[in-house]
Amino acid sequence: MPKPLVIIDGSGPDPKFVPAELSRLGLNERLGATSTQAAGDLATQVASLIAEDKLPIVIAPACDVSVAATKAVAGPGRAGLAYIDGHSDFRHDANLLPLRTGARSDLARAVGRAVDGTTLSPHFRDADTATVGFKRDDEAFLELRKTEILLWPMYWLYEHSRLDLEASLKRRFDRAELEAIWIHLDLDALDPKLLPGVETPIDDGLSAEELVPILRTLLATGKVVGMSVSNLTPELLADEGLAVRVVSMPCWEDFDAQEEEYQASVLPGAVPTLAVEAGVSFGWDRWADDSVSIDRFGASAPGSLVLAELGMTPEHVAERARALLAEIDD
């Protein structure tokens, strides 16, 4: 029988991220989950839920809040860490090469590397850890290859079969000496086409077809005791007290064929709608009040530069959203 799910909102005392919205949309009901706010020491809260034979899922904007929960797992007995992330997060005090300013340290902390003079205790062993999904050009890649951490950078998924990855994860985690497994999922590991609302997206990230078998393989061990999901960060408008829903509409015709009740649940008539497409605005006037689009010929330059020049940036989209709200309020 599956363990009862408990979703922990790790966004702080003034929630502005997705857990409450997920509950409002009925996810808790479909999963049979309950929700609670992170309170006091997160590790203690997670440990208490695990002791009650429940499965805690910590949803937080940043990895550091999520990784704090691993202390509840790494302490009682030997446990494994499955770290799914678009970046290595392996900056620590003794890096062989200096990493860029702003490089994160969450994996390094979780496996006991000293960061800013402090070492997390308890922590996971390298030999009980795997990291999946980081970029080929990650600055810590060569250093990570000298550790016992199981590595599956994103490009290896294209050079090997999915079954190779699943077999590697099973060998790493389905071992008698491991009593528990914690899954860390940073959503920047996913392809931006699937989930654009993250702070540090990577090109060609994991698809749903690639992520689901990874999670299924880990869950099949029967040792997963909890999970953290981080980097849901559309803060540009959230910091201003504005709740924003992101909807993907890959096909107008399919959406038009749905019942009106369903259409209204996706695009409520009382909610201002802003369409965003790196193409012409033609056709969006039926579904949206305004659109961020490109009604001109393209340009020749690096893709990121062209998108910035043509207004396809989070900052410009947020600016247009503010303008739309101001126009409607007036």
Backbone phi and psi for residue 270, each to the nearest 5 degrees, phi listed first: -85, -5
DSSP per-residue string spanning 261-311 = HHHHHHS-TTS--EEE-SS--TTGGGT-SEEE---S----S-HHHHHHHTT
* pTM score: 0.72
The pLDDT of residue 81 is 95
Per-residue model confidence as pLDDT tens digits over 278-325? 888 899 999 999 999 888 886 777 776 777 788 888 788 888 888 888
CATH superfamily placement of domain 5-233: Ureohydrolase domain (3.40.800.10)
Task: Give me the half-sphere count of Cα atoms (radius 13 Å) on the Cβ side of residue 258.
Answer: 13
Per-domain residue ranges of the chain: 5-233, 239-329
Distance CA 182, CA 184 (A): 7
The pLDDT of residue 295 is 87
12-26, 66-80, 158-172, 217-231: which has the minimum mean pLDDT?
Answer: 12-26
Per-residue model confidence as pLDDT tens digits over 120-161? 887 899 999 999 998 878 888 889 999 999 999 988 887 888
* Domain 239-329 bears CATH identifier 3.40.50.920: yes
Per-residue model confidence as pLDDT tens digits over 83-132? 999 889 998 888 866 666 557 889 999 999 988 888 888 789 999 999 99
Per-residue model confidence as pLDDT tens digits over 154-202? 888 878 888 899 999 999 999 999 999 999 999 888 887 676 566 666 6
Q: How far is CA 134 from CA 131, 147, 152, 154, 200, in A?
A: 8, 16, 8, 6, 12
Distance CA 149, CA 132 (A): 10
Q: How far is CA 107 from CA 67, 81, 290, in A?
A: 8, 9, 42
Among 139, 144, 114, 106, CA closest to 126: 144
The pLDDT of residue 250 is 83
Specify the DSSP class assigned to residue 324: H
- The DSSP H or E segment spanning 320 is helix 314-329
The pLDDT of residue 15 is 47
User: Percent of the chain having pLDDT more than 90?
Assistant: 30
